[in-house]
Amino acid sequence: QWLRDQHCQTLYITPGSPWENPFIESFNGTLRGECLDRWVFADGAEAQHVIEEWRQQYNQYRPHSSLGYLPPAVFADQARPSLQLA
């Protein structure tokens, strides 16, 4: 529903064809290997908390080789064009 409200179109890959969406497949593998496979969650609330903590670490502090070994937050800050006031 949220996607429809945002006027986004959902595109599906062919089942059994992970090479059609390699970035998501890579992210899912990283999430599973670094977070989900290391925990046995007591309930949904605990899972949500642990995953959010992992997400913050992943985006704010963890270096990514594809970004020149910078965390995504640092890379995004550096990539933003400078604002020049007239």
- pLDDT (tens digit per residue) in 16-68: 898 899 999 999 999 999 999 999 999 999 999 999 999 999 999 999 999 99
**Would you list the domain boundaries of the chain?**
15-74
Closest CA to 25 of 14, 39, 41: 14
Both structure tokens of 12? 């599906």
Is residue 63 within 8 A of residue 71, CB to CB? The reply is: yes
CB 71 within 8 A of CB 61: yes
d(CA 70, CA 68) in angstroms, rounded, equals 5
Supply the pTM of this predicted model: 0.72
**Which 8-state DSSP code applies to residue 49?**
H
Phi, psi of 64 (to 5 degrees): -120, 125
